[in-house]
Amino acid sequence: MGTLYGIGVGPGDPDYITLKGYKKLQQAPVVFVPAGKNGKAGIAYGIVKEHIPPEAEIVVLDFPMKSLSADREELDAKWQENAALTAQKLKDCDGVFLTLGDPMVFSTYSYITDYLKQHGVTCETIPGIPSFCGLASALSVPLTQGEESFAVVSMTQPENEIAAVLDANQNIVVMKVSAGTELLAKLLQERALENSFILVSNIGMPEERIVTDIKELSGRLPYLSTMLVKKNDDFK
């Protein structure tokens, strides 16, 4: 049985893959990629496709975009199915599995590795640049310095959890802002943090947009919007 290399491809730039990930990808006979919304190879594949050897077999795995808390059983069945298919392909060769960002941060990869081990597949993980590190470098805004903490929270979490994270940390990355834009504006105002955030939508794309005015948080924001809250900074 072969080894599966789980590779984080980073947040968007094809050259943000690690040198180790790049070398493994160059030698891979089989490349597993999560599907996008249309069922075809998704974002992770799109980012590094220029690095994939033309003779490699591309296997698209469907991971439904469901809620982990509400649809756990359906997701679990799908993970098992994908693991079985992956193990079958790895009977006589190694392969790589591409994930967006880092494989250990909000990634589907971490669910199927447990099932792969049951099939006798060895999994080796090669980390990637998480989206929040890409964002901080692009903005030239440090995520954290000196004796401060930082946290990553999603607007799909319950309000009390988001509020607790905002209260406990000096620096906060808020993911999936579009899932609760008005709630987030309210939570920031309650804490007098109106001037302490910077929001970026569609980073690195032609339609990239940066927001530092809390009034603009009332409107509809693109799906790919991430906010950085820094309590000791003023972005206005």
Q: Which residues bind a copy of itself (CB under 8 A)?
A: 8, 10, 13-20, 22-23, 67-69, 102-107, 110-111, 113, 123, 125-130, 133-134, 136-138, 140-154, 156-157, 161, 164-165, 167-169
CA distance 34 to 53: 18
CB of 215 to a copy of itself, least distance (A): 27
Amino acid (1-letter code) at residue 90: L
CB of 134 to a copy of itself, least distance (A): 6
Cβ nearer to a copy of itself, comparing 3 with 154? 154
CA distance 54 to 57: 8
* CA nearest neighbour of 78 among 125, 117, 115, 119: 115
DSSP summary character for residue 177 = G
CB of 185 to a copy of itself, least distance (A): 19
CB of 177 to a copy of itself, least distance (A): 14
Cβ nearer to a copy of itself, comparing 9 with 211? 9
Cβ nearer to a copy of itself, comparing 77 with 218? 77
